[in-house]
Amino acid sequence: MPQFEQIAFATGAVCLPKDEYEKWLQMIKPAFNAPTGQLFLKWLQTHKDKVIAKLTAPADDSPE
């Protein structure tokens, strides 16, 4: 799976309940072999609520 698709795949799973999400992240770790892949998965696990908030916010509400 290309790196961009990996990121989308992992980010899309934030809808899972917390315990399932954490187990799922552990399961996909071997596929994330890019230099920053493991760091990204750790960041997703730590910041799940922030990711959900960004994904559900209207585009005009985001200052970025």
Domain ranges of the chain: 3-56
Q: Report residue 36: phi and psi, to 5°.
A: -105, 5
Confidence of residue 64 (pLDDT cuts 50, 70, 90): low
For residue 10, the tally of other CB atoms under 10 A from its CB is 21
pTM of the predicted structure, to 2 decimals: 0.70
What digits encode the pLDDT tens for the residues 4-49? 888 888 888 888 888 898 898 899 889 888 888 889 999 998 988 8
Nearest to 11 by CA among 21, 1, 23: 21
Compute the distance between CA of residue 14 and CA of residue 11 in angstroms, rounded to an integer.
6
